[in-house]
Structure 1
């Protein structure tokens, strides 16, 4: 009996072993595929939609950028503290984090990437001084969004002499030695803005343009693209006024001269009729930008369309139209997507926005600067994309992924 029990136990053990051996083992390749699936799930980036807009795709990641430990890249923008430029800075910071993660650098070994900008937005002198300071630190590369198309030529020559590659972004330069330009396709975006405006206006009527400045490449490209498209393909629309926000002083004199001559008076003005004399005379430097906008709108009461080339100019135009009770009859197409613009879009004051990709711009600029420092070669132009946004598509996943409002 005892012998039979022992035999039964041995047979049971044998069957158990055979059963275990029959369970198929995952191959190394299968394990690798499963690991990649799990990694993809855990590494899904909340900012991926912004990176996906970048073309070529080589600039939406930090793979293969074998920078040395402690390398320093300097990025210089046009401004601090605005939603658009804060988003650029976020892209710069994220690219630096991704670079160090991919290279395994920690602590003092980390690659350093900084973002600096003038304290006052679009200040040419401050930006030139910043560039001088950064070049003295001998970074491996510099990225800069140029306030004035004609500025920084001397500094670029110095960078070339010091073998420090320069990448431009957002608003570029005609300088021949620039390693790459990372930006929105302003010609395509401006052309589409004009087409959308023409559609909203019923392809006829008068329009005014509000442009952020008269010096930067981005502003000039957008203005030209809009006027070229309207002139070439929408002959029944006339652009009756173009206001550049950096030319306020010129407009101040124009407005004050007309007020003093009696040919123009602001609404609800308590000034006497006719030519002003003595204490009634209005000084040019007392004219505000809001008053300039009111003057433009009063001079062109029949406008039915408005194009604004960035967030600041959209706010200027939208506020002016509301102040003069013209918002219901004037169609507004603008650039960017800060909180005020999105609210105006929801309210119907703004009819559509060309939304750029400032996060992607900051990210791709770091990648282009790293490539330039490593002599890897760069595309002359890196397109960071844009998205057409309206009240109707505002809540779609596609649009929500690229917005940068608070």
Structure 2
């Protein structure tokens, strides 16, 4: 009798042990599986948040603030991180250093300009070699391995500026050109387009081309020097956003606003004021907000594996006083992002 109870006791103990072990194994397996699923979801969520960097020519510029504004609007819509960083004022060495730093941080995509072939193409190619896509904005680097370009057709912009001068003037016109940079590709294209637009007009003569380094002060200084050296100059063409502003200041100081034709670029508040006064006759309008907005959208498509166009040109046109106010305002009004 005792043997029977002893056998029953051992059998029950063994069953209880097996059941307990099975339950422990089951719970452990479920905990493991739950943890694994959670980790996968976390990783997937992390991958959904891309980190893009927009590096402009200079931060302290109302034109680039509009680009930033558009880019940040797109970033909010897409729920991506956008870092806007660049030189305070135009400086190619610092610009390139920031690009290299962004690449070293292994960001998901870089949006920048291709200001010069010699300096920018090798750096862009180096970044692409690290499997980081690059979009050029405002200024293209077509010989690089950038994925695409979005912005103004700068040659065309210069060409329509030249045709506007032809249409708006009569008689002999002696033109001086103030350009933001003699080496930046987009500035060169704007000068070349302008030259081609007026080259067959015998009454129009280009007498000087000077560099402002994209500052109001130097644009004014160069204008002053030109008027002293070439008093016959009765027209100016400014190829960067700040050039026409500097030109207008000096022309007013010389009290020559009635006899001097000025055409510039962009629609900064000061440019609009001079346009309304009649000191500046015309300005070439770009779409900086659209450039920034569409560049971020395009970069999101690229990192998602979608094809994008090699070149996307935003709208460019010449406007005069009678065209004010401009719409949509988001491309022309500067506000805090």
Partner of 1:186: 154
Following superposition, the deviation at residue 200 of structure 1 comes to 1.9
Partner of 2:87: 118
Q: Where does 1:2-151 land on structure 2 (aligned, <5 Å)?
A: 68-100=47-79, 111-119=80-88, 121-151=89-119
Residues 263 and 283 in structure 2, CA contact (< 8 A), matched pair in contact too:
yes
Following superposition, the deviation at residue 67 of structure 1 comes to 10
Partner of 1:306: 236
Following superposition, the deviation at residue 148 of structure 1 comes to 3.2
Partner of 1:368: 298
Q: Within the alignment, does 1:331 sit opposite 2:261 as a pair?
A: yes
Following superposition, the deviation at residue 363 of structure 1 comes to 0.9
Partner of 1:403: 332
Unaligned regions of 5+ residues in structure 1, if any?
Answer: 1-65, 101-110, 249-286
Q: Within the alignment, does 1:160 sit opposite 2:143 as a pair?
A: no
**Structure 2 length-normalised TM:** 0.80
- Work out the CA distance in 2 between the residues paired with 1:246 and 1:288: 7
Q: 1:288 to 1:171 in 2, by over 3 A?
A: closer
Following superposition, the deviation at residue 203 of structure 1 comes to 5.8
Residues 201 and 304 in structure 1, CA contact (< 8 A), matched pair in contact too:
no
Q: 1:303 to 1:327 in 2, by over 3 A?
A: same
* 1:229-282 Cα deviation digits (max 9, x unpaired): 1003x222010111122499xxxxxxxxxxxxxxxxxxxxxxxxxxxxxxxxxx
Following superposition, the deviation at residue 127 of structure 1 comes to 0.6
Larger radius of gyration: 2
SS in 2 for 1:372: helix
Q: Where does 1:178-257 land on structure 2 (aligned, <5 Å)?
A: 178-202=146-170, 204-232=172-200, 234-246=201-213
- Work out the CA distance in 2 between the residues paired with 1:288 and 1:139: 36
Residues 164 and 373 in structure 1, CA contact (< 8 A), matched pair in contact too:
no
Q: 1:67 to 1:199 in 2, by over 3 A?
A: farther
Residues 208 and 307 in structure 1, CA contact (< 8 A), matched pair in contact too:
yes
- Work out the CA distance in 2 between the residues paired with 1:352 and 1:322: 16
Higher relative contact order (CA 8 A, sep 6+): 1
- Work out the CA distance in 1 between the residues paired with 2:222 and 2:234: 19
* 1:126-180 Cα deviation digits (max 9, x unpaired): 1111011100111221110234342233322321221111110011214331111
Aligned residues: 290
Please give the root-mean-square deviation of Cα atoms over the aligned residues, in Å.
2.3
Q: 1:302 to 1:337 in 2, by over 3 A?
A: same
Residues 209 and 241 in structure 1, CA contact (< 8 A), matched pair in contact too:
yes
Instruction: Compare 83-92 and 323-332 and name the one that shifted more.
Output: 323-332
* Match for residue 342 of structure 1 among 272, 277, 280: 272
Residues 90 and 214 in structure 2, CA contact (< 8 A), matched pair in contact too:
no
Q: 1:404 to 1:288 in 2, by over 3 A?
A: closer
**Structure 1 length-normalised TM:** 0.67
Unaligned regions of 5+ residues in structure 2, if any?
Answer: 1-44
Residues 190 and 225 in structure 1, CA contact (< 8 A), matched pair in contact too:
yes
Partner of 1:320: 250
